[in-house]
Amino acid sequence: MIPKKIHYVWVGNQPKPELVLKCIDSWKKHLPDYEIIEWNNERFEEIKNTYSEQAYQNKKWAFVSDYIRLYALYHEGGIYLDTDVEITKNMDEFLQLDFFSCYEKGDEYYPITSAVMGAKKKNAIIGDLLSQYNDLYFETINGLDLETNIIKITSYFKSEFNLLPPYDGTKKTYLNDNSIIYPSNYFCTPELGMINFAIHHFNGSWLPSHSRKDKLKFYKNKLIFSRFIRLRDTGEPQVSSKEKVLFKIPVSKNKQYVLIMKR
């Protein structure tokens, strides 16, 4: 059983930007009874690993986070979330699993994401991924080791589960009866008419309720005729502070055209 814990990493001394604060608010809204655990500079002191310590000394926070997320899940269990992950729906139904993640929708392929990962305490898959760092050094004779965790994850699932890229990111992959890699629409990229629990905003900025595509621009680009397609059940088409909506033309429940004027 996966405990009701959310782990996230915030090391360094930078203040949290608006996107991160919005994401954390979404966790509290949809997962109100989950314990939220921040792995920060102080908590990092309890971790003894050469790779992560060298990454920390070089202020390569993303690489520090690569190790901490696995450490947190292995030693405590729970759900790890990148700080740019927005929760859109309660996730209790996944707690009976031993491990879960999903595919990340990319431009050309679907890697296995590390932005959303859930595991029970002492999970074997997480333990194996964590052990990859035991003999690694971030500082090498050739410079800093900037190999992404996606490469490590891909290599592991290839060797242990014969899971070979390119992956079909639109289907579930059962690693065993209680360990599942879900399609990308579950935890990374919302798709119209498909179930979604989280949005990874690595795929774009803070996503509005609608996608937008500008179809026509005229009068020296001051007037824009745009198509909006609904991505979520609630919300109105968003425009920038330098734009004004003149009128809307609904075409269907999920599609409308909007005439926008630049201020």
DSSP code of residue 112: B
Same domain, yes or no: 244 and 199: no
Domain end marker among 203, 219, 241: 203
Same domain, yes or no: 40 and 102: yes
Same domain, yes or no: 144 and 164: yes
Structure tokens at 244: 């004004």
Same domain, yes or no: 61 and 183: yes
Rounded to two decimals, the pTM is 0.77
pLDDT number for residue 203: 41
Same domain, yes or no: 156 and 219: no
Same domain, yes or no: 75 and 187: yes
Shortest CA distance to 215 belongs to which of 207, 226, 204? 226
Per-position pLDDT tens, the chain of length 263: 999 999 999 999 889 989 899 999 999 999 999 999 999 999 999 899 999 999 999 989 999 999 999 999 999 999 999 999 999 999 999 999 999 999 998 756 789 999 999 999 999 999 999 999 999 999 988 788 888 898 999 999 999 999 988 888 889 999 999 999 999 999 998 888 899 999 998 743 334 567 778 888 888 888 999 998 876 655 677 777 678 899 999 998 888 999 998 87
How many structural domains is the chain composed of? 2
Query: What CATH number should be reported for the domain holding residue 167?
Result: 3.90.550
pLDDT number for residue 30: 98
Same domain, yes or no: 97 and 197: yes
Contact 216, 225 (CB under 8 A): yes
Same domain, yes or no: 194 and 215: no
Domain end marker among 203, 226, 246: 203
Same domain, yes or no: 163 and 252: no
Range of the structural domain that residue 150 is part of: 5-203
75 burial type by CB count under 10 A (0-12 exposed, 13-18 middle, 19+ buried): middle
Q: Which amino acid is at 26?
A: S
Tell how far CA 245 is from the center of its chain.
Answer: 32
Same domain, yes or no: 197 and 94: yes
Same domain, yes or no: 68 and 90: yes
What is the SS3 assignment for 126-194? Answer: HHHHHHCCCCCCCEECCEECCCCHHHHHHHHHHHHHCCCCCCCCCCCEEEECCEEEECHHHHCCCCCCC
Same domain, yes or no: 179 and 221: no
pLDDT number for residue 108: 63
